[in-house]
Amino acid sequence: MTAVGYLRGERAEVIVCRGSALSYPRHNHVSTLTVGLVLEGAVELATDQGKKLCRENGLFAFPPYVPHGLKARAPYTLVSLCVSKELMARGGPGEARVAAAALLRRALGQPEAEKRLLEGLSALSGERDRREGPLAGLRARLEAEPELPCSLEDMAALVCMSKYHLVRAFRREAGLTPHQFQLQNRVRKGQRLLGGPATVAEAAAAAGFCDQSHFDRHFKRLVGLTPADYKRSCGALPSLKAGPG
């Protein structure tokens, strides 16, 4: 049975999925460096460069904005470390590594797994942001305030492009259409709110969804859990004692 838990620190997060069969559609991690370590089972990662099977002890890493999907190929146990680009820029790789190491110790208590995840983070620290481009301002707006009404027509007017040109250019830069990117950021905002005292209804409204059912549907598709299940899983990491260390 799938068990998922989330542990947040300052601009960093550890996610543990144990015995999972969850798959995730194409998405990206905005302003976030992401490293994953498969402890058991197998997952298939799909990127613009093709598909890659990641088995037990396999490590993967994505800089910000790189689109990818994940498909379960066998029930898997996966640990993911997510560190904000802001933390990396503010204190450099050293400070980010210290913050990530402290969070991993709280979450896992598995030195070898922690070491490999930190090595993956260090390798990412030298990557430049490959998604900077002429639409960076629009992306930043949709990240910072995804809840604000902003139709495709509004977005096109902001960047002085036709709607059709905007969709093509945005997909080239971010790997997603503007609407997909906006929805993803609304869900991410909902996640942040649910990690605090907000109720599901409050998070749905604050993240810009017209009703809770709309929020529930998009949240479950992207996160793999309902908003209520996600809220219960925050700070409650499943034990990995039965898995490899």
Which CATH number is associated with domain 3-129? 2.60.120.10
The two beta strands, 50-55 and 32-47, are antiparallel
Distances from the Cα of 8 to the Cαs of 32, 114, 174, 186, in angstroms?
14, 16, 25, 19
Over the stretch 139-163, which tens digit does the pLDDT of each residue have?
999 999 999 999 999 999 999 999 9
Instruction: pLDDT band for 201, please (50, 70, 90 cuts).
Output: very high
Over the stretch 65-119, which tens digit does the pLDDT of each residue have?
899 999 999 999 999 999 998 888 887 888 899 999 999 999 998 999 999 999 9
- Indicate the domain borders of the chain: 3-129, 136-232
Q: What is the pTM of this model?
A: 0.89
The pLDDT score that the predictor gives to residue 129 is 57
Of 214, 161, 217, 219, the residue nearest 193 (C-alpha): 219
Encoded amino acid at 142, one letter: L
- Could you tell me if 36 and 80 are in contact, meaning their C-beta atoms sit under 8 angstroms apart? yes
The pLDDT score that the predictor gives to residue 243 is 45
Distance of CA 105 to the CA centre of its chain: 21
Of 233, 245, 244, the residue nearest 16 (C-alpha): 233
Give all strands (DSSP E) within 91-185, no chain letters. Answer: none
- Topology given in CATH for the domain delimited by 136-232: Arc Repressor Mutant, subunit A (1.10.10)
